[in-house]
Amino acid sequence: EVQLLESGGGLVQPGGSLRLSCAASGFTFRSYGMSWVRQAPGKGLDWVSKIINTGGTTYYADSVKGRFTISRDNSKNTLYLQMNSLRAEDTAIYYCAKSGPTFSDYYGMDVWGQGTSVTVSS
């Protein structure tokens, strides 16, 4: 069964850091790009970042550029999101999603994790 399982969420103070993980199973992880999408409470979907299959290229939303870093370990079938300098507006559920292998997402994001909750508050 194709599955993504996020972890690492929690409560953090403004200015703090958190690292999210997304463990993949049931597909050839190294063949696909991976993305993070977040959803603030009661709000819509907000694309955060993507990393291509090799890890060699990354893309970010302007709102997180310079503060968040996406990475992956293809030997561990795991995707990461290092979040630094967190702000109240980063409070959201964070989803990882299986994406197109490189620049393209022609086939959309076809597998999603269940999400992990991040709350930034003092």
Partner 1 sequence: DIQMTQSPSSVSASVGDRVTITCRASQGISSWLAWYQQKPGKAPKLLIYAASSLQSGVPSRFSGSGSGTDFTLTITSLQPEDFATYYCQQTTSFPRTFGQGTKLEIK
- Complex with partner 1: residue 4 or 12, whichever CB lies closer: 4
- Complex with partner 1: residue 13 or 54, whichever CB lies closer: 54
| Tokens 């979907």, residue located | 45
Of residues 84, 34, 77, the one with CA closest to residue 58: 34
- Complex with partner 1: residue 44 or 66, whichever CB lies closer: 44
- Complex with partner 1: residue 27 or 112, whichever CB lies closer: 112
Least Å distance between CB 122 and partner 1?
A: 27
Take residue 15 and report the two structure tokens written for it. Answer: 């200015």
- Do 120 and 87 form a contact (C-beta atoms < 8 A)? yes
Least Å distance between CB 36 and partner 1?
A: 11
Least Å distance between CB 75 and partner 1?
A: 26
Query: In this structure, how many other beta carbons lie within 10 angstroms of the beta carbon of residue 87?
Result: 13
Least Å distance between CB 60 and partner 1?
A: 7
Residues that bind partner 1 (CB under 8 A): 35, 37, 44-47, 50, 59-62, 95, 100, 104-110, 112-115
Take residue 107 and report the two structure tokens written for it. Answer: 């086939």
